[in-house]
Structure 1
Amino acid sequence: MAPDNPSAEEIERASQLLNAQEKAIALFEEIESTLIRPGITEKTLNAEIYQLGLDRYGIKTHWHKRVIRSGPNTLSPFAENPPDRVIQEDDILVVDLGPVFEAWEADFGRTFVLGNDPHKLKLRDALEPIWDIVKARYRENPDMSGDELYNISCEVAKEWGFDFGADIAGHIVGSFPHERIPRNKIALYITKDNNDSMGLAGSDGFRRHWILEIHLHDRERGFGGFFEKLLTVD
């Protein structure tokens, strides 16, 4: 379990992860203000985001593939690669990045709405409040299992009138490359059948830090949204 009195090294690790996330937030603010627009393809926006990250933040490595999806493509699971699509005037758009800052991983995802479609705005505006509710439930029992937190995420999404749109609600994150168990998509994920405590230490003896992901789908109208950030570091 996580130590009650963390060592200086534990504190430094948490600080580095939070610093990486703060840099990711700044990157996303620039993406929103300078790059997101209708009339370009997802592939073009992906390339522009990579170049912005390289030029402005020195990001050469992303620990997972950059995901930029719009409209119906927002319903596709992470592992899939839907056909490239032109971003429309009244669209919804998901950006999910895993930039590495000085050997520390960030994992940050946001949903953007172009135009004033009330259903898309409703979904976008529900993401962070749901994330906050799920985090509060986790904080009540930080030693809960990944299975328990996944079920909580699904329950809260349903209470807000949405489907939970993924088979995971998060995963560990750390120094690059973070801990992995080959061919195991359960033990280090917030997902069904992960019955291990989320408070277990990692294989390196340090506290595991987790990303919480909220995926909401409005299947009736054919789109979804996504919000993620650090769960275990404020």
Structure 2
Amino acid sequence: MLQPGKWRRRVHPDTRLAALLAAEAKAMALFDAIEAAGLIAPGRSERAVEKEIYALAERSFGVTKHWHKRIVRSGPNTLCTASDNPPVREIAEDDLVFIDLGPVFDEWEADVGRTYALGTAPEKRRLGADLERIFETVKQHFDATPDVTGADLYGYAQRIAEANGWLFGGDIAGHLVGEFPHARIPGDKDLYRISPKNPSRMRDPDELGQEKHWILEIHLVDRDRTYGGFYERLLVPA
């Protein structure tokens, strides 16, 4: 196990945040390239889309490392969380499809997720539109609550989802992000997640006295648990 402080180098706070924002901007550009290439389409398998995303990321962005598995989920698979491994399915005409990317740029991690409504079903399109709006609502609560804990913010995300007619589908609502590989941070992993198991203040510094940087994840599911959607990006304080 890595000793405290060994997994991360000391970097000026402005430099760390700028590097994470730059990595996220490149990941968003990767999403734009995925859309321009028409990779997300009915009749294609989730696995085929994942492989083409991997090839596109390496060819056009020089990405050779991804800090988590590339996830393409469609239809009922959108109910699953990141740790699940549902059977690969073919994307259907009226599916919601979400993509969860974790590319590493110059040893800095990005973690971004978007959802695409391929059909015209009003409720599916409403869920897709609600994801970013609810993200912003939860972020506003984070900005306005200096002492918010991981458990507090998770509970707030749940309540906002339910107030908008959805269920919150994630076991967590986000996690720390930083230098690759952040997943090897020593200590209690629950303290590095936005979840009911994290009673610590999100703005408390890390073991090196540095500011923590968080990813906020919004995973919405319909009340009948037949489809869902996912959206995530950096939670940058206002």
Please classify the TM superposition score into its range, dividing by the shorter chain length.
Answer: over 0.9
Given the superposition, is the C-alpha separation of residues 78 and 8 from structure 1 closer, same or farther in structure 2, using an over 3 Å criterion? closer
User: 2: CA distance between counterparts of 1:134 and 1:225?
Assistant: 16
Structure 2 residue matching 1:168: 3-state secondary structure = coil
CA RMSD of aligned residues (A): 1.7
Which residue does 2:3 correspond to in 1? none
CA drift at 1:101? 0.4
Which residue does 2:34 correspond to in 1? 31
User: 1: CA distance between counterparts of 2:80 and 2:11?
Assistant: 41
TM-score (norm 2): 0.91
Which residue does 1:160 correspond to in 2? 164
Which residue does 1:130 correspond to in 2? 134
Q: 1:192 aligns with which of 178, 191, 196?
A: 196
Which residue does 1:4 correspond to in 2? none
Which residue does 1:146 correspond to in 2? 150
Q: 1:80 aligns with which of 69, 81, 84?
A: 84
Aligned residues: 228
Residues 180-219 of structure 1 mapped to structure 2, 5 A cutoff: 180-181=184-185, 184-219=188-223
One-letter code of the match for 1:16? A
User: 1: CA distance between counterparts of 2:222 and 2:186?
Assistant: 33
One-letter code of the match for 2:171? D
Q: 1:65 aligns with which of 54, 62, 69?
A: 69
User: 2: CA distance between counterparts of 1:203 and 1:225?
Assistant: 34
Which residue does 1:21 correspond to in 2? 24
CA drift at 1:97? 0.9
One-letter code of the match for 1:15? A
CA drift at 1:143? 2.9
Which residue does 2:231 correspond to in 1? 227
Moved >3 Å (runs of 4+): 179-185
Contact 2:143 2:237 survives alignment (8 Å): no
User: 2: CA distance between counterparts of 1:222 and 1:162?
Assistant: 12
Structure 1 residue matching 2:173: 3-state secondary structure = strand
Structure 1 residue matching 2:73: 3-state secondary structure = strand
In structure 1, list runs of 5 or more residues that go unmatched.
1-6
User: 2: CA distance between counterparts of 1:100 and 1:202?
Assistant: 21
Structure 2 residue matching 1:187: 3-state secondary structure = helix
CA drift at 1:85? 0.3
One-letter code of the match for 1:13? R
Q: 2:105 aligns with which of 94, 101, 104?
A: 101
Structure 1 residue matching 2:182: 3-state secondary structure = coil
Which residue does 1:12 correspond to in 2? 15
Structure 2 residue matching 1:111: 3-state secondary structure = strand
In structure 2, list runs of 5 or more residues that go unmatched.
1-9
Contact 1:209 1:233 survives alignment (8 Å): no
Structure 1 residue matching 2:51: 3-state secondary structure = helix
User: 1: CA distance between counterparts of 2:103 and 2:145?
Assistant: 30
Identity %: 47
Could you report, residue by residue, the CA deviation over 1:41-84 in whole angstroms, capped at 9, with x for unpaired residues? 00000000000000000111110111111000000121111001
